[in-house]
Structure 1
Amino acid sequence: MPGLLLHATAAMTCQHVTGQATIAPVQSRVLVMGQPVATIPPGAPTIAIAGCLFTLPGGKPQPCVTVRWAMPSARVTVMGLPAMLVPAPGPAPGICQSAEQVPQGAPIVGAMQSRVVAM
């Protein structure tokens, strides 16, 4: 499925809107709109969330801390790693997780590049 290439400085929040996501630039050679293309390395997630204030109804804090991305490019790789794709700004193909890896919902992608499409 085609999608827009995600870059390291794309605006992204958790579903609770208070948490700001930061994409760690894994590579710096391939740029889109002057920003490094986000890739999916094996192992630890490369998207961290800070500032989420979500609390369970019982009062236990359960903030979003990472995003596990679910839409890697099938045909475009950057230095051997698949690029992150997003269908359009809005709910993204990933899942926010708490420190206990409890799924919290889809992240929301705001401002991002809209010119480069990949498969």
Structure 2
Amino acid sequence: MSGSLLDAGAVIGCPHGGRVTPATTSSGAVRLAAGAVATSAHSYVVTGCPHTVDGVPSPCVTVRWTAGGTGITVDGAPVLLDTSAAQCFSAALVPQGPPVVQTAQRKVTVR
């Protein structure tokens, strides 16, 4: 798997326009452009998702990432790339689509 390394400054959204932000960060031992490198150990939350189902609000509230294949880890957790598999979920844990990575650190790529 190849792609650009994600850090705390990456601009990520849910498929409905909500904003994805890290809820937890690492110790910050590995930093990229002053932001902690994102790993599968981080938790991500979604705010501002306007998604509804049949007129009932069903916003995305969390993102689960599946990092794999790079062999690169930080503090024992696989790093996240802009190509890493992920899924946004509602509060009822209903899958609502993959997040959209709008901006990632392009200076570091993994091949």
Distance 2:27 2:70 in 1: 18
Match of 2:106 among 90, 96, 114: 114
Offset of residue 73 of structure 1: 5.2
**What is the TM-score with the length of structure 1 in the denominator?**
0.83
Count matched residues.
110
Distance 2:68 2:82 in 1: 9
Distance 2:27 2:4 in 1: 18
Give structure 1 stretches of 5+ with no counterpart: none
Could you tell me which residue of structure 2 aligns to residue 93 of structure 1? 85
Please say if 1:77 is aligned against 2:70.
no
CA contact (8 A) 2:73 2:79 kept: yes
Give structure 2 stretches of 5+ with no counterpart: none
Could you tell me which residue of structure 2 aligns to residue 32 of structure 1? 32
Could you tell me which residue of structure 2 aligns to residue 54 of structure 1? 51
Q: CA RMSD in A?
A: 1.7
Give the 3 Å change call, closer, same or farther, for CA 25–72 of structure 1 in structure 2: farther
**What is the TM-score with the length of structure 2 in the denominator?**
0.88
Aligned residues with identical type, % of pairs = 38
Structure 2 residue matching 1:101: 3-state secondary structure: coil
